[in-house]
Structure 1
Amino acid sequence: MTTERQVAARAVKVEKLYGEGEAQVAALRGVDMEITRGEFTAIMGPSGSGKSTLMHCLAGLDVVTSGEIFVGDQQVSGMSEKNLTQLRRSQIGFIFQQFNLLPTLTAEENILLPLAIAGRKPSKDWFDRVIDTVGLAQRLNHRPTELSGGQQQRVACARALVSQPDVIFADEPTGNLDSTSGTDVLKFLRDSVRSLGQTIVMVTHDPSAAAYADRVVFLADGRIVNELRDPTADSVLDAMRKLDVRERVA
């Protein structure tokens, strides 16, 4: 029986350029990164460091200028739009700052929508386990307007989880929530890694949010410059302060 850690997604020498000529900006500069299956990874960095660009490239939402992106053993870079769509439906989950729920659908219908579009159904056991983890059993027949912001984001989390993707990408998932609701969502994400074996990559600017992760990767000027394992809010804050000093000196 192998104990070799499995890689859910990876970037190999990834460059991402925007614009042309003198106006050209390098958002990512030769980034190498592996996302380990069954881990919660946070990506942090100053504004303009490339953290959201890196996540979008890893998720197949943006095209790299050079280098390679893999999800599982599939190479995403160079994939046709049709195959990318299939990959995003079957192997990738998304949680955004905006909940992106359809107002005319119930919580349950919103959760099951991506699977319905793909012509799939979850097993009842898995659906019940996800609903139990997000604590929404009493809210499945409610529409988004009848739910709090935290509950809506938990619906979005359940929607991402229910298709059992290889990896879930979360872009500032607590950005539109009050501190109590934000903490609930972060605890749920942490729980889904521990209890459900989910793999999560989260972009955040909040050291307290990053402390829920197993690992924090820091970007500056389009490069990975630091990494923390088993972070605390204080250790993340200290690392961010050092990054700010580095930026000012540079």
Structure 2
Amino acid sequence: MTIAAPARQITAAAARADGVWKVYGTGEAQVVALREVSVELQRGRFTAIMGPSGSGKSTLMHCLAGLDSVTRGQVYVGDTQLTGLNDAGLTKLRREKVGFIFQQFNLLPTLTAEENILLPLAIAGRKPDRAWFQTVIDTVGLGDRLSHRPSQLSGGQQQRVACARALVSRPEVIFADEPTGNLDSRSGGEVLNFLRQSVIDHGQTIVMVTHDATAASFADRVIFLADGSVVDSLDDPTAERVLDTIKRIGADH
């Protein structure tokens, strides 16, 4: 039996979800995490995803990034449909087209900052583009820290290493899950400024899950979820407008 290759559809979006449902469990234990979610995440833009705890924002990001499967609907990264890809295909897509930044920095303690940054390329058997590597290092301001191990770096510096690691492979999209959640406000601001500059200077696409209105104000657009559904969005957000929207959504739900 021949299995058809996943459909490929050219799109201006870096990632998108079409009519996505995500359901966990069955019967009385069933939990609907996402309900008929359709979103387009534009290339070269910084998008924040917000919502109360349990709204489905992290689930949506994990489905868009190929870290979790959907129950119904389709997900695309660029022109590649994730729905139907096998484990090897998903691994290849994540390695070649997706970057990740998590709340926990996920750095290997025995490696230097430079080795941590270059690790995804080493795993993929790819040689780094040294000019691009230097551009990334200059952008995150880590030139004098490359030989340091994570234990010799502050939390903000460790997260900037994680940001550089995500950017160095030039992915189509970087998914950031609460990237400032473990940082003080100054260090968090440095990381957000880096993400913002990577969009402005290098056309990088960033998708960030956050609960922080100030962090969301660095984005070009904010998508709001509640009870597993998209309920609102804001372009050119300010922290005040984000907070007002969150309050209104809380009153409605």
Task: Give the alignment's TM-score, normalised by structure 2.
Answer: 0.95
Q: Percent identity?
A: 70
**Moved >2 Å (runs of 4+):** none
Q: Which residue of 1 aligns with 2:219?
A: 213
1:166 partner amino acid: E
1:232 partner amino acid: T
Q: Which residue of 1 aligns with 2:25?
A: 19
Q: Does 1:85 align with 2:91?
A: yes
Q: Which residue of 1 aligns with 2:114?
A: 108
Q: 2:55, 2:89 → 1: CA distance?
A: 29
Q: 2:127, 2:54 → 1: CA distance?
A: 40
The one of 122, 129, 142 aligned to 1:123: 129
Q: 1:158, 1:235 → 2: CA distance?
A: 30
Q: 1:160, 1:78 → 2: CA distance?
A: 25
The one of 195, 210, 214 aligned to 1:189: 195
- The aligned length equals 244
The one of 221, 230, 233 aligned to 1:227: 233
3-state SS in 2 of match to 1:190: helix
After TM superposition, list the pairs within 5 Å mapping 1:61-210 onto structure 2: 61-210=67-216
2:97 partner amino acid: Q
Which ranges of structure 1 fall in alignment gaps of 5 or more residues? Answer: none
1:128 partner amino acid: Q
Q: Which residue of 2 aligns with 1:42?
A: 48
1:246 partner amino acid: D
Q: 1:193, 1:63 → 2: CA distance?
A: 28
Q: CA deviation at 1:37?
A: 0.3
2:99 partner amino acid: G
Task: Give the alignment's TM-score, normalised by structure 1.
Answer: 0.96
Q: CA deviation at 1:117?
A: 0.4
2:50 partner amino acid: M
Q: 2:245, 2:128 → 1: CA distance?
A: 41
2:51 partner amino acid: G
3-state SS in 1 of match to 2:174: strand
1:241 partner amino acid: K
Q: Which residue of 2 aligns with 1:31?
A: 37
Q: 1:210, 1:116 → 2: CA distance?
A: 33
Q: 1:105, 1:199 → 2: CA distance?
A: 28
Q: Which residue of 1 aligns with 2:66?
A: 60
Q: Which residue of 1 aligns with 2:247?
A: 241
Q: 2:131, 2:108 → 1: CA distance?
A: 25
1:181 partner amino acid: S
3-state SS in 1 of match to 2:70: coil
3-state SS in 2 of match to 1:139: coil
Q: CA deviation at 1:122?
A: 2.1
Provide Cα deviations, 1:2-46, integer angstroms capped at 9, x if missing partner.
Answer: xxx821000000000011011101100000000100000000001
3-state SS in 2 of match to 1:32: strand
Q: 1:185, 1:124 → 2: CA distance?
A: 22
Question: CA RMSD for the aligned pairs?
Answer: 1.0
1:186 partner amino acid: L
Q: 2:55, 2:127 → 1: CA distance?
A: 39
